[in-house]
Amino acid sequence: MVTRIKTDICVIGAGSGGLSVAAGAVQMGADAVLLEGHKMGGDCLNYGCVPSKALLSVAKQAHALGGGGRFGLAPSPAPAQVDFAAAKDHVRRAIDTIAPVDSEERFRGLGVRVIREYGRFISPTEVQAGDHVITARRFVIATGSSPLVPPINGLDGVPYHTNETIFEDREKPAHLIIIGGGPIGLEMAQAHARLGCQVTVVEGARALGRDDPEAVALILARLREEGVTILEGLQAARVSGKAGAITLETQDGQRITGSHLLVAVGRKVNLDRLDLHKAEVEHDRAVRVGADLRSSNRRVYAIGDAAGGMQFTHVAGYHAGVVIRSALLGLPSKAREDHIPRVTYTDPELAQIGPTEDEARALHGDALTVARFDMAENDRAIAEDRRAGFVKVMVLRGRPIGATIVGASAGDLVGIWAMAIANRLKMSAVAGTVLPYPTLGEANKRAAGAYFSPKLFESSVVKRVVRTVQRLLP
């Protein structure tokens, strides 16, 4: 028997963006229905950000045990002695600790009507989820994305992992082959190498191809030093074998044999179940939306990965705020991307906001100034022997428009540039900020200072003014 529900807002998908919209709606006085046919918390909690960072944390500790020699400490047993199953227990504990925040029980307690079924449109104003038909003033598609599995010959005949399965595997791979040299591929490569696995990464183009080549070179050098084999410019052509003995053949005939295979070549948006044509919602690989995140059906919004832009959890959360202002408060609200950072959590980390140096120079030519500070000159980095990396800031008419940071805690350091770009602050705002000493954060201030140094210390006009003032002072 069909149950009919009328509500103010119906959210399809209980990942970070959908949860934020549903929670915000009920706490601001609207009625909200939340549909989720799989796991609460979505990809980030269950298969992405949380488990990957938990595994990287274990790997970092394992790596540190063998790296004490440079500090005068006797090295502990090699990382190969790590209890791999216990490492995966840490991953599970991290997920389980955060899960209650995203749980069905919590959201029911907030006043959200949670229906644990997949939703599909049956008309421009209705969605069906199991035996429920929901009519809403506004719908929000927050279905996220799933691992993209490329059409590699033989792949369907061998066991392989994606990010949705690798964190459940408690058997340590003897040799992990990774197809894809993007952030997920390289993070998992370093984590597994530090936990005692042999790792080979096969990338069809350039590893971390979206990012600043100078910064990427530092990361690739570190991974290779730690024993990761990284093969660039090689397309995977064929996969064969069985569990424990999988062979990957590249288009040029190279053969790599390993025990396990991870496919990490990208993501595809989860739209297949939605029947968007019945809602008169235009889409291609994602929902087509305007800057206000509305689709061709004005009742229907899309956020996060479903909106077709940058695929990050923090983007979905940001989109949720845009939709809340529009759908609940009736205020004009538009999303932008120029202030959105992205981070690859290798060691060293790589953070980027706005255009890279090459992209910015192509856009702005000689009008662009690049300010730089090397982490090797930061006192805290020296004290902790974490000197690899730099801060590079792209500046246009006194305002930062982009920043590249590679080095220890780059994901945290990029925050000040995210704030500056979001609020259209000038470089003087960062240069004038007093930061505690000694911290890695001083690298940002020094980069901002580097922008002003030529103007102050290399200007003949400034020198003449100073000399004149000195003569006139009593």
- What CATH number does the domain containing 220 carry? 3.50.50.60
Query: Could you tell me if 219 and 170 lie in one domain?
Result: yes
Instruction: Give the per-residue pLDDT at 456.
Output: 65
Q: In what order do the strands lie in the sheet with 229-232?
A: 229-232, 198-203, 175-179, 260-263
Would 427 be classed as within a structural domain?
Answer: yes
Classify residue 67: in a domain, yes or no. Answer: no
**447 lies in a domain?**
yes
Q: Residue 25 domain-assigned?
A: yes
The pair of structure tokens assigned to 163 is 């990010």
pLDDT of residue 295: 98
Alpha-carbon distance of 219 to 276, in angstroms, equals 41
Residues 251 and 361 both lie in one domain: no
191 shares a domain with 241: yes
- Clarify whether residues 261 and 273 are in a common domain: no
Residue 217 lies in a domain: yes
* Per-residue pLDDT at 434: 97
Tally of residues, the chain: 474
Q: Would strands 399-407 and 390-396 be described as parallel, antiparallel, or unpaired?
A: antiparallel
Asked whether the beta carbons of 418 and 339 are under 8 A apart, the reply is yes
Task: Indicate whether 244 pLDDT > 80.
Answer: yes
Task: Output the pLDDT for position 67.
Answer: 73
Residue 64: how many other CB atoms lie within 10 Å: 14
In a domain, 318, yes or no: yes
**Which residues, including other chains, have CB under 8 Å from residue 362's CB and lie 6 or more apart?**
none
Same domain, 429 and 402: yes
The mean per-residue pLDDT over the stretch 127-136 comes to 98
Q: 218 and 204 share a domain?
A: yes
Same domain, 254 and 314: no
Residues 222 and 233 in one domain: yes
Q: Which pair of tokens denotes residue 20?
A: 């934020």
pLDDT for residue 247:
98
Mean pLDDT score, 396-411 = 98
Please report the pLDDT score of residue 14 as a whole number. 98
Q: Identify whether the C-beta of residue 141 lies closer than 8 Å to the C-beta of residue 12.
A: yes
Mean pLDDT, rounded, of the chain: 95
Residue 71 is assigned to a structural domain of this protein: no
Same domain, 261 and 274: no
Q: Could you read off the pLDDT of 336-387 as tens digits, one per residue?
A: 999 999 999 999 999 999 999 999 999 999 999 999 999 999 999 999 999 9
* DSSP per position, 154-178: TGGGS--B-TTTGGG--SPPSEEEE
CA distance 240 to 259: 12
- Strand pairing of 113-115 and 175-179? unpaired
Cβ atoms of residues 417 and 403 within 8 Å: yes
- Count: domains in the chain: 3
Binding residue numbers for NAD(+): 180-187, 203, 266, 305
- Kindly report, residue by residue over 146-187, the tens digit of the pLDDT: 999 999 999 999 999 999 999 999 999 999 999 999 999 999
- Residue-wise pLDDT for 26-85, tens only, equals 999 999 999 999 999 999 999 999 999 999 999 999 998 877 667 777 766 555 578 999
The pLDDT of residue 77 is 58
Tell me the mean pLDDT in the region 195-223.
97
Q: Is residue 232 located within the same domain as residue 358? A: no
Residues ≥6 apart with Cβ < 8 Å to 216 = 206, 207, 208, 350
Residue 190 lies in a domain: yes
* Range of the structural domain that residue 385 is part of: 341-457
The predicted pLDDT at position 473 comes to: 84
Q: Which of 177, 210, 192, 230 is nearest to 351 (CA)?
A: 210
How many percent of the chain have pLDDT more than 70?
A: 97
CATH of the domain at 346: 3.30.390.30
**What residues does 245 pair with on adjacent strands?**
242
Alpha-carbon 357 to chain mean position: 20
**Binding site as annotated, residues:** 53, 119, 143-145, 180-187, 203, 266, 305
Quick one: what percent of the chain has pLDDT higher than 90? 91
In this structure, the answer to whether residues 289 and 430 fall within a common structural domain is no
Residue 457: the pLDDT is: 62
Same domain, 142 and 9: yes
The Cα–Cα gap between 30 and 21 comes to 11
Q: Does residue 459 register a pLDDT over 70?
A: no
- Residues tagged in the binding site annotation for FAD: 53, 119, 143-145
